[in-house]
Structure 1
Amino acid sequence: MSDNARFGFVNFAETWNGRLAMMGFVIGLGTELLTGQGILSQIGLG
């Protein structure tokens, strides 16, 4: 495997996956705090 791999279980991909997951969590929490509704109720499931 080359050192420039960007896909699969490589450090580059795992780092960005973690960063995007943290951003999604913070955005979801912020939206919930601003609207007063949970995420599931916002999309009509709750």
Structure 2
Amino acid sequence: MTSSDLAKFDDLKKIGEGTYGVVFKGVHKRTGKLVALKKISLER
């Protein structure tokens, strides 16, 4: 996901973190749907 893809979402807030990455909650600007986005760490 690129920074231009992230621009499609509002109100990104960190809601969790685990072994493989971080989870964010946001709202898709066009549809208004609540979404969860997971940023996966490729380095361990």
Higher relative contact order (CA 8 A, sep 6+): 2
TM-score using structure 1 length: 0.21
Is the radius of gyration larger for structure 1 or structure 2?
A: 1
TM-score using structure 2 length: 0.22
Higher strand share: 2
Higher helix share: 1
